[in-house]
Amino acid sequence: MTMQPPEARVVANDLEIYFKGFEVSLKRNDTEDSVRYLESMIEEIDYTIDHLQPIKEQKIARDDRKSRLRRAILDHRRIIKDLEDELRAL
């Protein structure tokens, strides 16, 4: 199971509350409240995407940097081994 940032848990909780309100308003045939709950859900999702997108991009950039560093370390180790082998041969 992956850990979610605290923001994601808060958003999930808020969306669940809005959805419950939406269900209740539908059962009561209250169109105005139904629309209000849907609009609140849309606003919450839009806000969250705007907030979490930079975090996602930072994570992608960090993971890419880590991958490039690992490859560079492996390349350098291979070069060192080749040089050591050449030195032994001399």
Q: Give the range of the structural domain holding residue 56, as residue numbers without chain letter.
A: 6-89
Specify if 1 maps to a domain: no
Long-range contacts of 11-20 (CB under 8 A, 24+ apart): 11/44, 11/45, 11/48, 14/44, 15/41, 15/44, 15/45, 18/44
Per-residue pLDDT reduced to its tens digit, 37-66: 999 999 988 888 887 888 889 999 999 999
Residue 85 is classified by DSSP as H
User: How would DSSP label each residue in 62-82?
Assistant: HHHHHHHHHHHHHHHHHHHHH
Specify if 40 maps to a domain: yes
pLDDT score of 49: 85
How many domains would you assign to the chain?
1
Specify if 75 maps to a domain: yes
Q: What is the mean pLDDT of residues 33-37?
A: 95
CA–CA distance, 66 with 58 (Å, rounded to integer): 12
